Structure 1
């Protein structure tokens, strides 16, 4: 059930009743046309055929901000088969990696095709609603699965709500599941040890913002994600940590040496706001920036 209530306050307060789409294709067309904005995923293909032997069509194929392959399946209302259908296509995808790489190369170029992150493929199910059995099933699978509920509000607004986001058995840890002892064991009196300790504290702060968070690591950064990345932590270099956030640099205080607008500048990870952290005090200053970025994702 959709829990958010939306009200129009133009002249008097009136509730805008939520509704389902007239047809499943309406949801698919909307998301595919704006997939990067709505899901943080670059669109690759629609109704992608898995061939005569497999006999299926993937609703949408994409690749997320971190280079992970993404399958998106849609249902107008509640459908108990949406997860199993998506996992059926996930098995095909993992058996046809070269086919997917060629698709990425054709759509996004050779560099993007070489950066595909096969350790964290994702299934996103967008539907009118999900049952408690769906939510339980997601947590039993080894793949990363997001259940996303949609609603239309009037003729001009649509809402997306993440019901559950499971990172997969091989992906990063969810909030509350990491070991504090590991972070303590890494602490040393050296400068490198201090940065390791600070990185562990940043990790804890970013994962502590909510229960709907996952993290995914690649060779150059660790991404912290709700529906989309809200933060990317670059491994420590020398005596500083770099964190890139989804927050709009135009809406925050840009402090020289601490917060910088990197819009249009090349860097590892995603986000246009760069924070430079060198101490626990910097981490305390960063808390508000973290929360703002989390809210936008």
Structure 2
């Protein structure tokens, strides 16, 4: 983002210079007020106290689209301590699950609280910038960590850039281990549709760096900071994929794509793609890329 230039074209061309916030609290206020739109995370609590023993305050607590607990930490500029601080709070959170679930129950109800995805907790660090050592550190860690750089432009524009997005070691390590051992991918279904699901998995994971996969009972989510695709378990004759692409921007084809905005379904996304063959996967490639870019 430091290389990104923004221009106002009204009455000529004038560069809108990027700047940092006056205070860390200003960044926190903007994100907390719009957390679901900016990060794909439902807001739970601000400045949450970890009690007298740990004597700290978690900047923000939230719940992501897949039900995973999220710790969000902010820094106005560059601060190498933000990652370690966030990991400390993430560790505290894993030791105080009942307390977190109580927060979720009060905010979103008992059903949501019972479905918290504890195997995939996340840390999101929002800061003015990160060093190359920060990026290297998160890639070596076993937790799911997202580094997000912000910039303010003018008086009312905010820019966010994902600098690094790393899946938890438990997901990535198993995938690497099986490949290194020459073992086939883990499959929960048999037959042609299972092979189709693995083809989709390979395509979605290969869209770019930092794509992580989160397995839920009802669907498998693919995300980089937030979900961009959700794949449901194979049905009898087809595989359903839900994308964040805008259905109104797509030429819908009956039997292949469908606008499901406002309709109940598993996963997230308003564009349903129905896959029956590898040719359909090829047809859907542009839609996959558009959803990835939008996420």
RMSD between aligned residues? 2.1
Q: 1:290 aligns with which of 268, 288, 291?
A: 288
Q: Secondary structure at the match of 2:251?
A: coil
1:222 Cα offset (Å): 1.0
1:184 Cα offset (Å): 7.9
1:87 matches 2:100 = no
Q: Could you state the TM-score of these two structures normalised by the residue count of structure 2?
A: 0.94
Q: Secondary structure at the match of 1:235?
A: coil
**Structure 1, gaps ≥5 residues long:** none
1:3 Cα offset (Å): 2.3
1:172 Cα offset (Å): 5.1
Q: Could you state the TM-score of these two structures normalised by the residue count of structure 1?
A: 0.93
Q: 1:217 aligns with which of 215, 218, 222?
A: 215
Aligned to 2:166: 166
Aligned to 2:38: 38
Given the superposition, is the C-alpha separation of residues 175 and 74 from structure 1 closer, same or farther in structure 2, using an over 3 Å criterion? farther
Summarize the alignment of residues 12-31 of structure 1 with structure 2, pairs less than 5 Å apart. 12-31=12-31
Aligned residues: 293
Q: Secondary structure at the match of 1:236?
A: coil
Output the CA distance in 1 between the equivalents of 2:178 and 2:160.
28
Given the superposition, is the C-alpha separation of residues 222 and 185 from structure 1 closer, same or farther in structure 2, using an over 3 Å criterion? closer
1:11 Cα offset (Å): 2.6
Aligned to 1:127: 127
Q: Secondary structure at the match of 1:170?
A: helix
After superposition, give the CA deviation of every residue in 1:223-271 in whole Å (9 maximum; x if it has no partner). Answer: 1111210000112121210000001111111111111111122111111
8 Å contact kept, 2:239–2:275? yes
Q: Secondary structure at the match of 2:118?
A: coil
Q: Secondary structure at the match of 1:292?
A: helix
8 Å contact kept, 2:178–2:184? no
Given the superposition, is the C-alpha separation of residues 233 and 158 from structure 1 closer, same or farther in structure 2, using an over 3 Å criterion? same
Aligned to 2:147: 147
1:173 Cα offset (Å): 7.2
Output the CA distance in 1 between the equivalents of 2:7 and 2:176.
35
1:58 Cα offset (Å): 0.3
Aligned to 1:262: 260
Output the CA distance in 2 between the equivalents of 1:165 and 1:67.
18
After superposition, give the CA deviation of every residue in 1:120-144 in whole Å (9 maximum; x if it has no partner). Answer: 1000000000111111111121110
1:12 Cα offset (Å): 2.1
After superposition, give the CA deviation of every residue in 1:62-118 in whole Å (9 maximum; x if it has no partner). Answer: 000000000000000000110110011011100000000010000011111011000
Q: Secondary structure at the match of 1:63?
A: strand
Output the CA distance in 2 between the equivalents of 1:260 and 1:109.
31
After superposition, give the CA deviation of every residue in 1:174-196 in whole Å (9 maximum; x if it has no partner). Answer: 9999839655897xxxx942111
Q: Secondary structure at the match of 1:289?
A: helix
Q: Secondary structure at the match of 1:179?
A: helix
Given the superposition, is the C-alpha separation of residues 225 and 184 from structure 1 closer, same or farther in structure 2, using an over 3 Å criterion? closer
Aligned to 1:276: 274
Aligned to 2:56: 56
8 Å contact kept, 1:93–1:100? yes
Q: Secondary structure at the match of 2:273?
A: strand
Q: Secondary structure at the match of 1:220?
A: coil
**Structure 2, gaps ≥5 residues long:** none
Q: Stretches of 4+ moved more than 4 A in 1? A: 172-178, 180-186
